[in-house]
Structure 1
Amino acid sequence: MIRVRAGELVFAVTTAGAGEPVLLLHGWPQTAYAWRHVVPLLADGFALVAPDLPGFGDSSIPADGYDKRTVARRVRALMHELGHDRYAVVGHDLGGQVGYALAAQWPDEVTRLVFVEAGIPGLGRSIDAANPLRGGSWHFGFNMVPDLPEALVSGRERTYLRFLFLRDEIGLVETAAIGPADLGVYADALARPGALRGSFGHYRALPQDIADNRRLAATAQLPMPVLVVGAAGGVGLSWLDTVTEAAQHVTPVLVDGSGHYLPEERPAELAGLIREFLSKENT
């Protein structure tokens, strides 16, 4: 991993391989470490760029700018700094939200877009995901509360993460996929000064993201091919309607035997799906 200055931020980035550039965006509450099994499986055919998103890992933790339009602009600056003007984007969880903001603002740069256990807040029925009374997850509201989550989670990062990874809904199916050492990597990253604020900042920006996403989707649909990969033990294809509302050419795939953390639970299967999708001729 290297650190690269791009615009006003410094990104911690894993790069590997050669060929068509592919940007790999991790989800919450993780880092680029989540792609550790996928990168070696794709490096023989693609130039991979896997950054820690702003506010995560060893990347900068800015004071603001966690709305996904701004995060996308900052990630785009990183790709340009690395010499990539056209590239595919693969986003897991939160990374898919950033991927949409990137593709919607700069559709001439993003050749293909892959959502992995991800969707677009504000579109379709996504608002239910943040409402526990309608089957959604409690953590959306908790993470959005000012200040309190930092006070409660600080010093208990490992406990919080372990609960999230092992929860009954949207947790791991393959529990060994994120073992004690892996949990330690994520807990250490979240314990870095300012990291909790940066992590929760992505959730506190959701009202702005929802408004932005609705404007972007109403302006134009995504023209590039889009793949939506869901896990039967995770979000599945429950966010598919949000993507079909925003894109013209959408292919859905459901992976059995995995929870929400597909890059770690089913890396070979996910890498195969990504490779096949990126290698297809445009239709």
Structure 2
Amino acid sequence: MTISLAVGEKFMRKFKRVMTALAAVAAVVLLGGTATGAAANTGWRHSDAALARSLPGGFQSSYADVNGVRLHYVAGGSGSPVVLLPGWPQTWWAFHKVMPALAERHRVIAVDLRGMGGSSKPQSGYDKETLAADIHALLAKLGYAKADLVGHDIGAMVAHSYGIKYPQAVGKLALMDVVAPDKSLYQLPLLPSAPGQFSPWWWTFNQLQGLPEQLVSGRSRYVVDTMIDQLSVVPSAVDDFDRSVYARAYYTREAVRAGNGWYRTLNQDIAAGSAYGKLTMPVLGLAGEFNHQYFVQVMPSKAVDPQVVKIAGAGHYLSEEQPAQVIGSLTKFLG
């Protein structure tokens, strides 16, 4: 009996080691990344609090209950407030290369939108005007009647709507590579007519009900890698660790569903945008190699007196691919 118990205990210890190893392998497969990337996904370095502390400028991770949701944000620095709004498939971490420099002159507040990262993921409220209302309520709770806004991708859509709905609450507004949705989106080709032609397949895919959750949950790293590799001039600028941060944020079924919510409201956003006038505050458009010419053409119809700056050598992920240029442009614009 004693021998049998000893053998049994030895077997159980070995069994637990094997299962732990298999779990690690499964994490690699599910995340679609390297062993290093998968390990980072399960490690302490991925907590928002740890990521915030890793940045110079005294950044801290916090939460606020506003407008019926809990928003996660990271704030640091001192001075006039600058709000940073990221897009899909990313989180506030998309601005981590520019936040410390901006914090030398401003109180920098990088926010996870409703449905993103550490923020709530409700069933509704993903139209850009509701998202703008979330940010307006957050700033009011933090004690700011007026702030500068910088938005990228989906965050730029929200910032644009914010500037229209709350012009008195905006000092200056910067839109990075995207503007508010309008009817021109209906003209984008889903099927490329020539090799290399732009085709925003994800705009349609993310509007499907149920299927993206089934396909992407547990496999978010594949989506993150595809988007960054397809839309970057310098894909390596968003490294394995950064990508694993984003993959972790969209890993669960609920996270995929919430992120897709920003796309499932596009018809509603286009209808709302059809009544928008021009932005009246100072507006800066930052665009990379792909969208610069589009910004030159479209920004005069979106703002009274816009500036447009090309971020050379960048694709869509401006603040990660060419952070020095983004810092220089924003510093000059914000003052």
Superposition TM-score, scaled by structure 1 size = 0.91
The structure with the largest alpha-carbon Rg is 2
CA 1:82–1:129: 2 relative to 1, 3 Å: farther
CA 1:90–1:130: 2 relative to 1, 3 Å: farther
Please give the secondary structure, in 1, of the residue aligned with 2:93.
Answer: helix
2:130 corresponds to which residue? Answer: 70
Among 288, 294, 302, the alignment partner of 1:231 is 288
Q: Is the 8 A contact 2:295 2:308 kept in 1?
A: no
Structure with a larger share of its residues in strand: 1
Q: Is the 8 A contact 2:279 2:302 kept in 1?
A: yes
Q: Structure 1 stretch 42-51 or stretch 186-195: which is displaced more?
A: 186-195
How much has 1:244 moved relative to structure 2?
2.1
User: Structure 2 matches for 1:106-145, cutoff 5 A?
Assistant: 106-122=166-182, 125-129=184-188, 131-133=190-192, 135-145=198-208
Please give the secondary structure, in 2, of the residue aligned with 1:49.
Answer: strand
- For 2:325, give the aligned amino acid: E
2:25 corresponds to which residue? Answer: none
CA–CA separation in structure 2 for the residues paired with 1:263 and 1:9? 28
Among 234, 239, 246, the alignment partner of 2:302 is 246
Higher relative contact order (CA 8 A, sep 6+): 1
How much has 1:74 moved relative to structure 2?
0.8
- For 1:154, give the aligned amino acid: S
- For 2:168, give the aligned amino acid: D
CA–CA separation in structure 2 for the residues paired with 1:130 and 1:199? 23
User: Structure 2 matches for 1:67-216, cutoff 5 A?
Assistant: 67-122=127-182, 125-129=184-188, 131-133=190-192, 135-167=198-230, 171-216=231-276
- For 2:300, give the aligned amino acid: T
Superposition TM-score, scaled by structure 2 size = 0.77
CA–CA separation in structure 1 for the residues paired with 2:189 and 2:134? 26
Structure with a larger share of its residues in helix: 2
Please give the secondary structure, in 1, of the residue aligned with 2:261.
Answer: helix
CA 1:189–1:76: 2 relative to 1, 3 Å: same
CA deviations 1:208-265 (Å, max 9, x no partner) are 0000011123xxx211011111111x33342444432121011111111111101111
Paired-residue identity, %:
34
CA–CA separation in structure 2 for the residues paired with 1:149 and 1:110? 36
Please give the secondary structure, in 2, of the residue aligned with 1:275.
Answer: helix
How much has 1:87 moved relative to structure 2?
0.7
For this pair of structures, how many residues does the alignment match?
Answer: 271
How much has 1:131 moved relative to structure 2?
3.8
How much has 1:27 moved relative to structure 2?
1.4
Q: Structure 1 stretch 239-248 or stretch 63-72: which is displaced more?
A: 239-248
Q: Is the 8 A contact 2:76 2:107 kept in 1?
A: yes
User: Structure 2 matches for 1:20-59, cutoff 5 A?
Assistant: 20-59=80-119
